């Protein structure tokens, strides 16, 4: 499973697909943006009961991700299981991102969204 997360993180770094209808951002631009912000990436991997239900709740939680200094978030789904999800976000502030990741509010949101397992969360350094 760790290999899946590492592969997904690599895909996020090289991704040209953005979750919002804004101009696409290639890997060089994404790495430049991460470098400029001084942060790295936060990667979350978990499984959900129903992706469609989860997505509505995830989208509604954007204000909390923004408050935690997370931006440019991308959601990826496993090709083998559409309810197996990896989310990668740029971090502006590692302390805020860690606090968000361990917050009771995020835990409650995940329960409400139907997360079925303990999330794996990685904090990655900025591109070197």
Confidence check: pLDDT of 22 > 50: no
pTM score, whole prediction: 0.72
∠ Cα 25 86 102 (to 5°):
110
pLDDT at 81: 97
Mean pLDDT of 79-89: 97
CB of 115 closer than 8 Å to CB of 84: no
Task: Give 37-63 pLDDT, tens digit per residue.
Answer: 458 999 999 999 999 999 999 999 999
Burial letters 44-58, b for 16+ CB under 10 A, else e = bbbbbeebeebeebb
Q: Which domains does the chain have, with CATH numbers?
A: 2-124 (3.30.70.100)
Count of residues making up the chain: 128
Confidence check: pLDDT of 127 > 70: yes
CB of 74 closer than 8 Å to CB of 15: yes
Q: Residue 119: helix, strand or coil by DSSP? A: coil
pLDDT at 128: 81
């Amino acid at each position: 499973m760790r290999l899946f997360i590492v592969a997904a993180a690599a895909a996020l770094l090289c991704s040209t697909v953005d979750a919002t209808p804004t101009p696409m951002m290639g890997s060089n631009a994404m790495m430049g943006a991460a470098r400029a912000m001084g942060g790295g990436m936060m990667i979350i991997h978990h499984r959900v009961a129903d992706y469609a239900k989860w997505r509505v709740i995830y989208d509604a939680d954007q204000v909390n991700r923004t408050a935690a200094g997370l931006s440019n978030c991308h959601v990826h789904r496993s090709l083998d299981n559409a309810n197996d999800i990896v989310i990668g976000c740029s971090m502006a502030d590692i302390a805020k991102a860690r606090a968000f990741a361990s917050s009771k509010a995020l835990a409650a949101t995940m329960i409400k969204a139907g997360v079925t397992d303990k999330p794996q969360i990685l904090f990655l350094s900025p591109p070197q």
